């Protein structure tokens, strides 16, 4: 992958990438092999077999204990390894497997290809969209993986890690204590937003691979955000509506998305609110990059409109 490839996938200019990310791209190996013919068919077959296995976990409120267990494992790893933040990498970012790029499967040379790509994307995304706010609220913050990067990029900002899992809250608060970061963990449930929890002025709302868990039940959270009037809302999520069902790799992602009951309807709802004059959509960008099963890095940037 070249700097031009990164610029295209991020939705920016090559000059921007060369200014902010070229040195980081240069030290990682972003070579890959396009999977064609039998190699492509074998990957697609395995993906579809997994989707049809009946063994995939489902999004929704019933999954709370599963996430509590998962983030508890990250918390235990963090404490047992002297608060080494590498223990916070979510287990769903997998090594040494094909990834999807430009609606095709490719096999990376570096087993850490997706992690390295995401690390560069994430730093660019944060610097580009979150630099001008005083406070950042990450909803569905999970292991605190992203908050660590935010704390190092913006030590002057106040950070809030919001999650329905107590283990997630505890991770964030322990990181704040150990490293002296200006961050706080709080409990927050997408399915039952606490309207008494206020968002401070000049704040950004951030979600990364979190709203996917709400399925069609995102309206309560959306209304909470509209009422809170943050300066910016930034989502990095899988968007089912942006796939092309005529492309086999996209078709598999649609099926995966639907079987797991991931969120749907959000882009249309946001456009409806824009027509009503209640929000302004600043960016909608499909990622055209993702893991074996879906593209999890598409961008939606918007802000409420104050009458």
Which residues are within 8 A (CB) of 191 and not within 5 positions of it... i.e. 6 or more apart? 61, 214, 217, 220
The CA distances from residue 92 to 88, 114, 117, 205, 209, in Å, are 11, 11, 15, 23, 11
- pTM of the full structure: 0.97
- What is the predicted pLDDT for the residue at 90? 85
- What is the predicted pLDDT for the residue at 92? 82
Tokens of 12: 């920016």
Query: Can you tell me the distance from the alpha carbon of 70 to that of 81, in angstroms, rounded to the nearest whole number?
Result: 17
**Averaged pLDDT, 210-214:** 96
Confidence of residue 100 (pLDDT cuts 50, 70, 90): very high
- What is the predicted pLDDT for the residue at 48? 98
- Is 31-304 assigned to CATH 3.40.50.150? yes
Percentage with pLDDT > 70 across the chain: 100
**307 has pLDDT over 80:** no
Task: Give the dihedral of Cα atoms 136, 222, 191, 250; nearest 10 deg.
Answer: -90
**169 has pLDDT over 90:** yes
Tell me the backbone φ, ψ of residue 119, rounded to 5 degrees: -60, -40
Task: Report whether 40 contacts 105 (CB < 8 A).
Answer: yes
For the chain, state the CA radius of gyration.
19
Give the tens place of pLDDT for each residue, 101-149: 999 999 999 999 999 999 999 999 999 999 999 999 999 999 999 999 9
Residue among 153, 158, 147 nearest 208 (CA):
147
Give the tens place of pLDDT for each residue, 245-276: 999 999 999 999 999 999 999 999 999 999 99
- What is the predicted pLDDT for the residue at 228? 97
Q: Return the domain boundaries, the chain.
A: 31-304
Output the DSSP codes for 58-90.
--SGGGHHHHHHHHHHHHHHHHHTTT-GGGGS-
**286 has pLDDT over 90:** yes
Give me the sheet containing 203-208, strands edge to edge: 183-187, 158-163, 135-139, 203-208, 232-237, 298-304, 279-285
Give the tens place of pLDDT for each residue, 38-54: 999 999 999 999 999 99
Task: Report whether 250 contacts 103 (CB < 8 A).
Answer: yes
**291 has pLDDT over 90:** yes
**Averaged pLDDT, 78-87:** 95
Tokens of 173: 């608060």
- What is the predicted pLDDT for the residue at 91? 81
């Amino acid at each position: 992958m070249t700097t031009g490839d990164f610029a295209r996938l991020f939705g920016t200019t090559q000059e921007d990438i060369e200014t902010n990310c070229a040195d980081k791209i240069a030290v990682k190996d972003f070579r890959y092999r396009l999977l064609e013919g039998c190699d492509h068919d074998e990957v697609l077959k395995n993906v579809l077999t997994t989707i049809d296995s009946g063994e995939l976990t489902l999004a929704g409120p019933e999954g709370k204990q599963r996430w509590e267990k998962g983030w508890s494992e990250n918390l235990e790893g963090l404490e047992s390894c002297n608060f080494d933040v590498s223990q916070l990498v979510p287990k769903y970012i997998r090594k040494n497997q094909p990834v999807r790029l430009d609606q095709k499967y490719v096999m990376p040379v570096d087993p850490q290809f997706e992690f390295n790509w995401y690390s560069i994307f994430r730093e660019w995304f944060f610097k580009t969209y979150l630099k001008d706010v005083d406070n950042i609220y990450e909803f569905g913050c999970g292991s605190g993986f992203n908050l660590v990067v935010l704390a190092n990029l913006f030590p002057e900002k106040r950070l809030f890690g919001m999650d329905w899992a107590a283990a997630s809250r505890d991770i964030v608060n322990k990181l704040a204590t150990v490293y002296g970061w200006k961050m706080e963990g709080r409990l927050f449930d997408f399915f039952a937003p606490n309207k008494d929890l206020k968002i401070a002025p000049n704040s950004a709302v951030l979600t990364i691979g979190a709203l996917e868990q709400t399925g069609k039940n995102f309206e309560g959270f959306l209304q909470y955000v509209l009422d809170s009037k943050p300066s910016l809302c930034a989502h990095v999520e899988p968007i089912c509506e942006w796939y092309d069902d005529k492309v086999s790799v996209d078709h598999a992602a649609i099926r995966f998305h639907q079987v797991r009951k991931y969120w749907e309807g959000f882009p249309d709802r946001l456009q409806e609110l824009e027509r009503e004059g209640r929000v302004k959509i600043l960016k909608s960008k499909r990622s055209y990059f993702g893991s074996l099963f879906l593209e999890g890095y598409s961008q939606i940037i918007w802000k409420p409109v104050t009458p």
